[in-house]
Structure 1
Amino acid sequence: MRTTKGAGRLLAGVAAGAVMAATAAAAAAADAKLPGTMVWTAYDLGSSGYAEASGIANALMKKHDTRVRIVPSGTSIGRLLPVTTSKASYGYLANEAFFATEGTYDFAVPQWGPQDLRIVLGRLAGGGMSCAGDLGIKTPADMKGKRIGYVKGNPSVNVKTDAYLAFGGLTQADVVPVWFGSYNALKTAVISNQLDCFGSVTTSANAREIEASPRGLAWPEFAPENKEGWAKISKVADFFQPYRETAGAGISKEKPKDIVGYRYPMIVTYARQSDDEVYALIKGIDEVFEDFAGTTGSAQNWALNIAGKPPADAPWHDGAIRYLKEKGVWDAEAQAWQEKRLERLATVMAAWDEATDKYTTWRADEEKKGNKVNPEESWLKFWNDYRMEKGLGPAS
């Protein structure tokens, strides 16, 4: 939650970090130490995010004098709020990290706004469009006119779906959006021929059920060499990258698929978190990697050379970057991405402050005229319009 001017705070933090880094780096490397107790948040029990957070925590506690408690939550607010209020130090988050930095969806309300978040590590995951195999869909462009699944109240799913469509030059106007109340309903709808495609990971039970159904399963491919397509995806959200999947329903090492890579889960904290502590955490995780790498089928992707590189949903933390540089993972390309992402975050935070000031003036003028104003509805419209005016994209 924000109580001061965000952009000013962000820029001040960047400047201060640059001044202190040169004098403190050598001592910090020697003195960096994990705190005696840490609280992390994660997705619900049973999720891969919770399982991997538990695996990492157990490995750290066996080697270091630290205790970790994990607080599960099924909502984005539930995972981030404890970190915001400092009741937790780190969150194992998904795309809510992106929405929080942008002040969109759940975070577009006055109580939140753009959050000054940072990434410590982000496990690479693969996703794409799980499509019925009886339609001959081979590329995202082939989804034109097809019935595409969306989930009410689930922006993480919906934004990815819009991005996948964008690769093929499509929007919701070019397909038949079909809205459901839950994610699990999408699989059943495909099997019963009420739906054609929806966003999914390749290893889910849902995808395997579709593969075994009479309709079969197809994964439209996102060719890495299609620069135009990847540029279109980046306009929807800039945390996607090419990803060659070798495991999952209808996929193997012998028959891989070029789909879309993103980060889930990501270890996220605020920029205010101590550089030394973050340095100690990422170093500790790297040192115990082999002890938790078999926690899930995807846990191998926590390897530093995979999980320590952009793109991701927020900028990287300076403490993490220090260690990544020491290990030869962080390069000029990563630093260029970081600077661009920090600039974007500063722009969004400044826009929020400007919009807040203008909204306060507008609301006062409306009330003087005797016009009733619904604060929640009017602010969301005001913030959405202001973002569009500034070329930042919609708020929801």
Structure 2
Amino acid sequence: MKKSICVLFALGFLCMVLLPQAISPVFAEKLPKLITFTSYKVGSLGYTITSGFREAIEQLTPMKVRVEPYDTDVARVLPLKIGESEMSILTGATGTCVSYGIAEFSGKAWGPQPIRQVWRGLTLYLSLLARGDSGIRYPADVKGKRVPKVPGWPAGMLSIEGIMAFGNVTWKDVTAVPMSGYVNQLKGVIQGKVDVAYAATVTPTVKELQAGPHKAGWILLPHDDKAGWKRLRAKAPWLTPVVCKRAPGLPKGETMQVGTYPYSIWSYATVNPDIVYNVVKALHKGFDIYKGMHRAMPAFNIKGAVKNPSPVPYHEGAIRYFKEVGVWTPEMDKWQAEQLKAFEARVAKFKK
């Protein structure tokens, strides 16, 4: 009997030592039973990433996570605005549009919104995508082609306009084809409904195109074309030049010059700081849980969470945890104060 009790105690001790993250929650405050993330549609990288985060959060906190996919930026942000969702996976382009009140977010019902960065994640490599055998290689080649037009997706549409402007192409020079969202406009290339679509290299749908008979082809944005980049950034200032070394359709060992901005987790300033703090803590402590779920996931590490952020303030709950683990610096406090001041100025200007 004593031997059995000793064995049980020994097993219990081993479980405590070897499986601390699986059985010990990282929360201290009273948290809701359920939180919601909005994301891009099923089949997008955003949905895949958010599903990975769900695993870590549910294992390391008492909170369950519901992932709600939407087609457009407005649809993804609206649940945050009205308090029905706590967080979202959005690009730096979209987050900037929301914070600055740009395009679809410029109307009376919107204006500059108190959206906050929670975790700066993956660096995206982006451009227009075409079939590999289409002969479309540069922005000027888009003239006369079919281009998707997606309502409620300001970041994507302004990025498309910017890339066309790079080649001195406007909407008057192309045929606009109505599409319902990011993934659908990509599928439009596969299905032959459009000639180009806006894409991140890591989006799963791009792999579908590459696996088909036509393969994937990227529209290049040469960095030495300063005038082209000036026209592009006049439309989409969030896009910056980058060299991409890996993408579907890019031969091994070759590189291509395209654009970039981050893929991040966002929340509204009104969301309980304890919720944000514990989500950030779970993502840090649970990195090993999700890092192998997609080749993009390792980019969501604690050091990258505050590196080269979008020009939008961070959430106070995230900052609290970043300070605890030493990745938030005094210089970032100064940067945060500047971003908050700039946001208040945007709001005041909008209200006039």
Q: Is the 8 A contact 1:144 1:174 kept in 2?
A: no
In the alignment, structure 1 residue 41 sits paired with structure 2 residue 40: no
Partner of 2:220: 221
Structure 2 matches for 1:123-134, cutoff 5 A? Answer: 123-124=121-122, 125-133=124-132
Q: CA deviation at 1:52?
A: 2.3
CA-to-aligned-CA distance 1:37-69 (integer Å, 9 cap, x gap): 2412222455432332232222133233x2123
Q: Is the 8 A contact 1:103 1:112 kept in 2?
A: yes
Q: CA deviation at 1:289?
A: 1.0
Structure 2 matches for 1:183-262, cutoff 5 A? Answer: 184=184, 188=188, 196-204=195-203, 207-208=206-207, 211=210, 217-223=216-222, 232-251=231-250, 254-262=253-261
Q: CA deviation at 1:292?
A: 0.6
Report the CA distance shift for 1:302/1:131 in structure 2 as closer, same or farther (over 3 A): same
Partner of 1:302: 300
Q: Which sections of structure 2, spanning at least 5 residues, go unmatched?
A: 1-25
Q: Is the 8 A contact 1:118 1:314 kept in 2?
A: yes
Q: Is the 8 A contact 2:185 2:197 kept in 1?
A: no
Report the CA distance shift for 1:209/1:267 in structure 2 as closer, same or farther (over 3 A): closer
In the alignment, structure 1 residue 70 sits paired with structure 2 residue 69: no
In the alignment, structure 1 residue 122 sits paired with structure 2 residue 117: no
Partner of 1:54: 51
CA-to-aligned-CA distance 1:145-191 (integer Å, 9 cap, x gap): 3526132313332122123334x363526842533334536655687
Q: CA deviation at 1:103?
A: 2.8
Measure the CA separation in 2 of the matches of 1:311 and 1:165: 26
Partner of 1:312: 310
TM-score (norm 1): 0.65
Aligned residues: 319
Q: Which sections of structure 1, spanning at least 5 residues, go unmatched?
A: 1-30, 355-396
Give the aligned residue type for 1:284: A
**Which has more helix, going by share of residues?**
1
In the alignment, structure 1 residue 147 sits paired with structure 2 residue 142: no
Report the CA distance shift for 1:216/1:281 in structure 2 as closer, same or farther (over 3 A): closer
Report the CA distance shift for 1:32/1:203 in structure 2 as closer, same or farther (over 3 A): closer
Report the CA distance shift for 1:134/1:349 in structure 2 as closer, same or farther (over 3 A): same
Give the aligned residue type for 1:129: L
Partner of 2:110: 112
Measure the CA separation in 2 of the matches of 1:53 and 1:34: 23
Report the CA distance shift for 1:321/1:256 in structure 2 as closer, same or farther (over 3 A): farther
Q: CA deviation at 1:209?
A: 5.7
Across the aligned residues of Structure 1 and Structure 2, the Cα RMSD in angstroms comes to 3.8
Report the CA distance shift for 1:49/1:313 in structure 2 as closer, same or farther (over 3 A): farther
Partner of 1:83: 80
Measure the CA separation in 2 of the matches of 1:323 and 1:222: 38
Report the CA distance shift for 1:226/1:123 in structure 2 as closer, same or farther (over 3 A): farther
Give the secondary structure class of the aligned counterpart of 1:304.
coil
Measure the CA separation in 1 of the matches of 2:305 and 2:189: 34
Give the aligned residue type for 2:129: S
Measure the CA separation in 2 of the matches of 1:320 and 1:53: 17
Give the secondary structure class of the aligned counterpart of 2:57.
helix
Report the CA distance shift for 1:219/1:341 in structure 2 as closer, same or farther (over 3 A): farther
Q: CA deviation at 1:317?
A: 2.3
Measure the CA separation in 2 of the matches of 1:121 and 1:345: 19
In the alignment, structure 1 residue 172 sits paired with structure 2 residue 206: no
Give the aligned residue type for 2:68: P
CA-to-aligned-CA distance 1:189-231 (integer Å, 9 cap, x gap): 6875x85433122244654565567765432334567666655
Measure the CA separation in 2 of the matches of 1:234 and 1:338: 24
Measure the CA separation in 1 of the matches of 2:189 and 2:79: 36
Report the CA distance shift for 1:81/1:337 in structure 2 as closer, same or farther (over 3 A): same
| One of 335, 344, 347 as aligned partner of 1:346 | 344
- Percent of counterpart pairs with the same letter? 25
CA-to-aligned-CA distance 1:114-143 (integer Å, 9 cap, x gap): 211101013322221113545665554x44
Give the secondary structure class of the aligned counterpart of 1:83.
helix
Partner of 2:11: none
TM-score (norm 2): 0.72
Measure the CA separation in 1 of the matches of 2:146 and 2:330: 39
Choose 206-215 or 98-107, whichever is displaced more: 206-215
Give the secondary structure class of the aligned counterpart of 1:282.
helix
CA-to-aligned-CA distance 1:307-332 (integer Å, 9 cap, x gap): 43234373322443454456565568
Measure the CA separation in 2 of the matches of 1:325 and 1:54: 27
Choose 234-243 or 220-229, whichever is displaced more: 220-229
